[in-house]
Amino acid sequence: MHLDLNCDMGESFGAYQIGDDEGVMPHITSANVACGFHGGDPAVMRRTLRLARANGVAVGAHPGFQDLAGFGRRDLRVTPQEAEDLVLYQVGALEAMARAEGVRLAHVKPHGALYNMAAREEPLAEAIARAIRAFDPSLVLFALAGSRLQRAAEAVGVRVAPEGFADRSYEPDGSLTPRSKPDALIHDAQLVVQRAVRMAREGLVSASDGRDIPIRIRTLCVHGDTPGAATLARELHAGLERAGVIVRAPGATG
Amino acid sequence: MHLDLNCDMGESFGAYQIGDDEGVMPHITSANVACGFHGGDPAVMRRTLRLARANGVAVGAHPGFQDLAGFGRRDLRVTPQEAEDLVLYQVGALEAMARAEGVRLAHVKPHGALYNMAAREEPLAEAIARAIRAFDPSLVLFALAGSRLQRAAEAVGVRVAPEGFADRSYEPDGSLTPRSKPDALIHDAQLVVQRAVRMAREGLVSASDGRDIPIRIRTLCVHGDTPGAATLARELHAGLERAGVIVRAPGATG
Amino acid sequence: MHLDLNCDMGESFGAYQIGDDEGVMPHITSANVACGFHGGDPAVMRRTLRLARANGVAVGAHPGFQDLAGFGRRDLRVTPQEAEDLVLYQVGALEAMARAEGVRLAHVKPHGALYNMAAREEPLAEAIARAIRAFDPSLVLFALAGSRLQRAAEAVGVRVAPEGFADRSYEPDGSLTPRSKPDALIHDAQLVVQRAVRMAREGLVSASDGRDIPIRIRTLCVHGDTPGAATLARELHAGLERAGVIVRAPGATG
Amino acid sequence: MHLDLNCDMGESFGAYQIGDDEGVMPHITSANVACGFHGGDPAVMRRTLRLARANGVAVGAHPGFQDLAGFGRRDLRVTPQEAEDLVLYQVGALEAMARAEGVRLAHVKPHGALYNMAAREEPLAEAIARAIRAFDPSLVLFALAGSRLQRAAEAVGVRVAPEGFADRSYEPDGSLTPRSKPDALIHDAQLVVQRAVRMAREGLVSASDGRDIPIRIRTLCVHGDTPGAATLARELHAGLERAGVIVRAPGATG
């Protein structure tokens, strides 16, 4: 029974700091490094790669829409070809920085609106899968468990780590409760840990109507921009291990 | 006796077209492909890679300052570390697109103000050389013949193709006559071809004071944004071959 | 019987030229000047203001999404507040340049995806109307005839010049035929002129099913980025005048 | 004896927060509001305008280079015309937001590298003065006391508030000690207050060689991005008033 803890990292930009990368990094096993479009810049990317390396954390690319003003969180009507190209471009940019730092890329997790749109829209999902396969078929794609993105990637032979969110409410159909609804976010740390353990051990999560739904995940998202992110990451890591779950990156061995 | 003809390519951006890439490409042997900072975008990069591949033209990265508004032609006071990182980032981005198109990168030519500043300033020159060595030591750097950039790269073992400009006037010290001076540009196509042949065969160019100065070049720049660029490129190629100069990219064999 | 001929202008950016501003300007009566977000930059804005002034053409702001890579043509999911602020910002920026050139702004026409989204979505439409009213209630808004944008503006007392498109096909419900469909664009210049005259004189346009539908317009869009735009603009102007339609800007007198 | 306390404000961008605007605002008399090029965005501008209005603080524009990645602190080789246009554009954009919030602009303070370059270079200084005069000749320009920018503005009739820096060391020639040198920054709050009082009351500041040099200032810069900025601003305000200096904006009455 293995689970990966991933967190978005390196989203600072120039003079702007965001997130508590140094506090969170020691407690996660995969870092999704922003690639300069929705956040991050070449200097931040290098710094983040070094921080991940120093903590033995696996590194992945975290490509997003070219919308720094909206932090990549606003839906942007790109074509599938545009999506494919922007993923390739950003993964390649990060890979170059990683190569210079002696770090090997292990995964790709699309960011924000790109992640959400690709979870729903097959043409975008296929485009992202094509980009990964063309760049390096050994990269693992982090995709919302059960989404079109997961299926599109698997269909073309890209390995997927299905992703869960222990601090988000799920709808009975397995989708995430929209943030606009009350109770979409779960703030109680103990409950978050419990839900994580249950997802990992039993493959179940309690949905918004109270009933259990099946969920098969290989990685769990830790939100790095919430207050107390480092503490929650530490508690998740410890709680999972206490429950007998081995916390490690998808590609890690041992 | 070999000479390469290189030209900046893929500098269009979104809805904006610039340069006559399709007209020039058949006549050159190395394409310097813009990487999205001073010009170019992921879609343009892919299109340009395909065009180069179809014409059997070697492809290199053409990284520049993140100054689209100034087309990368305005001096920007970056630190050497910033220069190193922005070169790495852009070369990596292009390499990913190239990999997806089955194209191998052969060289790097810095763009505009970055090229000129690195020709004069040793710390910037060293930073660019470090970036190339870290990314792929087999890449050839295109640098102004006799510049600090050439020397810094050679000092760390990066191969250099010294570059000449047949349509620019040279000062007696071997530097280019600033564009602000009259006669900085040579418009007569026949004279441009003659100067190119002489650089290639005799290693000499007539400076602005009329005296010959030595110049050792391996690649010659063709300006793609001047009217008649395609015609001039064709005439240069033909004129060099007529004079017994083999026109081919630095890494090409046969 | 009056009609205005408007055209998007000043969408060049830095080293990039787009459109035939100098060819089209003499034949139109209103210039929609890009404000630096989807196209245009401060230097281009100044140049365009001078060109409009020299041709006696009324000037308006042409604000768009901050998406230069997509030329403002891709839907971007902004909030109404974001839309209000980006319109205000851009109109103010242009007004400052206009003030320095002794030009008075007369109208506002949203660009591309912002125009289309506001035509359909009431909250965006209201936001744009609020921005105009707050900045200068004497400005005329150019909005798709019959759209939500027209109604929202009129509801808060902003004057509207309903806009028609003589080179686009209309659906029976009065909306424009999507560009993705065949026959969405009308290429025959003579037919375009005929449709323009009919819209102006009879308030009718033949829809895609062949039936006439009523349309009440005060301004007609001339597309500046199509080949032959200048010629078409000249023919439209002449054809309308021949048919007894006075071609002038909404705010013009005499 | 009057002195203004000014601080850069509204430099946050999208999801990125920078500075302690809410902590500092109550203690200053002039807010220099970023205009979206080096920092700030339309939403931040509106929020900052409201904060200034609620605190009775005078508002000015804080235009900078279009270099968000470098926070406008890197020298960028613009032409004087480019400088003039980018100031006009940004001042106009802010003025529109201010108009919508019922706030009148009172001053302009160039940001970072633009401020420093214009302090040294007459053509840039003149360009900025021209932009202000063209937009609104009643605006006061904040310029380094004794700089070329001050002189260029006064020469064309633009009112200047000469600016001093109580937390920066001065060279014997009246220029600021470069930040690269040790002791360039003064960290002792009490000493900073003393220097401010002495500048305001005696028109003197102790230079890096220990000797007093004359300095005539009307406004004092408070750095908002240093830790404890709000406390220092409060102490400066209180210390100046205790010493009999009336703290108020240049245009304020009463």
**Mind listing the pLDDT tens digit for each residue in B149-161?**
999 999 999 999 9
Q: Inform me whether the C-beta atom of residue D76 falls under 8 Å from chain B C-beta atoms.
A: yes
**Of the partner residues C69, C70, C76, the one whose CB lies closest to the CB of residue A74:** C76
Q: Do A69 and D41 touch (CB under 8 A)?
A: yes
- CA C78, C80, C82, C84 torsion-angle sign: positive
Query: Is a pLDDT exceeding 90 seen at residue B253?
Result: no
- Shortest Cα distance, chain B CAs vs residue C234, angstroms: 25
Q: Give the integer Cα–Cα distance in Å for C102 and C53.
A: 9
Q: Inform me whether the C-beta atom of residue A129 falls under 8 Å from chain B C-beta atoms.
A: no
The whole-number average pLDDT for the span D25-35 is 98
Q: What is the mean pLDDT of chain D?
A: 96
C85-105 confidence digits (pLDDT tens): 999 999 999 999 999 999 999
Are D146 and D153 spatial neighbours (Cβ–Cβ below 8 Å)?
no
C151-185 confidence digits (pLDDT tens): 999 999 999 999 999 999 999 998 899 888 989 99
Q: Inform me whether the C-beta atom of residue C80 falls under 8 Å from chain A C-beta atoms.
A: no
Percent residues over pLDDT 90 in chain C: 92
D197-225 confidence digits (pLDDT tens): 999 999 999 999 999 999 999 999 998 87
Identify the closest residue of chain D to B76 by CA–CA distance. Answer: D76
Query: Is a pLDDT exceeding 80 seen at residue C11?
Result: yes
For residue B177, the surrounding DSSP H or E stretch is: none
Query: Is a pLDDT exceeding 80 seen at residue A57?
Result: yes
The whole-number average pLDDT for the span B69-97 is 98
Query: Is a pLDDT exceeding 90 seen at residue D252?
Result: no
Q: Which residues in A lie closer than 8 A to residue D68 (C-beta atoms)? A: 13-14, 68
Q: Inform me whether the C-beta atom of residue D36 falls under 8 Å from chain C C-beta atoms.
A: yes
Q: Inform me whether the C-beta atom of residue C210 falls under 8 Å from chain B C-beta atoms.
A: no
- Residue B252's pLDDT band (cuts 50, 70, 90): confident
SS (H, E, C) chain C: CEEEEEEEECCCECCECCCCHHHHHHHCCEEEEECCCCCCCHHHHHHHHHHHHHCCCEEEEECCCCCHHHCCCCCECCCHHHHHHHHHHHHHHHHHHHHHCCCCEEEECCCHHHHHHHHHCHHHHHHHHHHHHHHCCCCEEEEECCCHHHHHHHHCCCCEEEEECCCECECCCCCECCCCCCCCECCCHHHHHHHHHHHHHHCEEECCCCCEEECCCCEEEECCCCCCHHHHHHHHHHHHHHCCCEECCCCCCC
pLDDT of residue C16: 97
Count Cα neighbours of D24 within 13 Å in the Cβ-side half-sphere: 27
Name the one residue in this structure whose structure tokens are 């501008």: D45
Report the interhelical angle of D148-155 vs D122-135 (nearest 10°).
40
Count Cα neighbours of D161 within 13 Å in the Cβ-side half-sphere: 30
- Shortest Cα distance, chain B CAs vs residue A233, angstroms: 30
Q: Inform me whether the C-beta atom of residue D113 falls under 8 Å from chain B C-beta atoms.
A: yes
Query: How many CB pairs (< 8 A) connect C and D?
Result: 73
Query: How many CB pairs (< 8 A) connect A and D?
Result: 34
pLDDT of residue C160: 98
Identify the closest residue of chain B to C70 by CA–CA distance. Answer: B14
The whole-number average pLDDT for the span B119-140 is 98
Q: Are strands D246-247 and C30-34 parallel, antiparallel or unpaired?
A: unpaired
Q: Inform me whether the C-beta atom of residue C243 falls under 8 Å from chain B C-beta atoms.
A: no
Identify the closest residue of chain A to D69 by CA–CA distance. Answer: A14
Query: Is a pLDDT exceeding 70 seen at residue B117?
Result: yes
pLDDT of residue C131: 98
D121-136 confidence digits (pLDDT tens): 999 999 999 999 999 9
Q: Do A15 and D41 touch (CB under 8 A)?
A: no
Q: Inform me whether the C-beta atom of residue D70 falls under 8 Å from chain B C-beta atoms.
A: yes
Q: How many CB atoms lie within 10 A of CB C244?
A: 10
pLDDT of residue D227: 84
pLDDT of residue A224: 85
A32-48 confidence digits (pLDDT tens): 999 999 999 999 999 99
The whole-number average pLDDT for the span A159-188 is 93
For A33, A143, A248, B160, the CA distances from A138, given in Å and listed in that order, are 18, 15, 17, 34
Q: What is the mean pLDDT of chain A?
A: 96
Would you give the DSSP letter of residue D66?
S
Q: Which residues in C lie closer than 8 A to residue B41 (C-beta atoms)? A: 69
pLDDT of residue A227: 84
Would you give the DSSP letter of residue A244?
T
pLDDT of residue B60: 98
Q: Which residues in C lie closer than 8 A to residue B39 (C-beta atoms)? A: 15
Q: Do A99 and B135 touch (CB under 8 A)?
A: yes
Query: Is a pLDDT exceeding 60 seen at residue D55?
Result: yes
Q: Give the integer Cα–Cα distance in Å for D60 and C253.
A: 38
Query: Is a pLDDT exceeding 60 seen at residue C254?
Result: no
Query: Is a pLDDT exceeding 60 seen at residue D13?
Result: yes
pLDDT of residue D160: 98
Query: Is a pLDDT exceeding 80 seen at residue C253?
Result: no
- Shortest Cα distance, chain B CAs vs residue A91, angstroms: 7
pLDDT of residue D64: 98
State if pTM tops 0.90: yes
Query: Is a pLDDT exceeding 70 seen at residue A116?
Result: yes
C192-203 confidence digits (pLDDT tens): 999 999 999 999
